[in-house]
Chain A
């Protein structure tokens, strides 16, 4: 079956521009996560959506970052006024169950963002 998809796969933008990154989770998965991974580094948690609950935004690095999840499915991560330090791979993951820190997370291929 279809896995988690993300678009675009690559995005090059100029400093100061806004960007939108899209994530399509696996159908039926109620939890969705966004992570950031800089070159050679670990996974930095950004935001977590679970069902209809308020999202956990505790990992967003600044107010330039925001995310929404429409209809409990597709999610968009928006970065306003991009900075060079925002350059990284942005990974989306989804998991199945409504209540779970124990569930397997299925990752998308990521969006590589380069800010010039």
Chain B
């Protein structure tokens, strides 16, 4: 079945350093979403990308959707302690527009040391 993998599984950075997590799907996606889960919390939606090659920014966060719509990345510039948490990508399968569920990636846990 379809799989969505993320690397790295875990990243520990010093506050102020940059961070990137990569998301790779075994099949083409109709769209990609990113969620953040704080420790002890539940996933919260960050952003959605739909177009091939799309890039979106939210303050220090930059999201990219690959040209082939099979991979995505999230880059955080100058991390802060508030960035701590697990970042999940989630892909919408490309079934020609048919309704379907999201496939969540394996997640990347970010730890930020002050």
A residues lining the B interface (CB < 8 Å): 33, 35, 40-43, 45, 48, 50, 53, 56, 91, 93, 99-102, 104-110
Contacts and interface: CB of A to CB of B under 8 A. Distances in A.
A109 B99 CA distance: 26
A45 B43 contact: no
Interface in B41-76: 41-45, 48, 50
Specify the main secondary structure of chain A where it touches its partner. Answer: loop
Interface residues of B, number: 25
B22 interface: no
15 contacts: A33-B101, A42-B104, A42-B105, A42-B107, A43-B107, A45-B103, A45-B104, A48-B101, A91-B42, A91-B43, A101-B99, A105-B102, A106-B45, A107-B42, A109-B41
B79 interface: no
A42 B106 contact: yes
Contact of B101 (A53, A56, A106, A108): A56
Nearest to A51: B99
B106 A102 contact: no
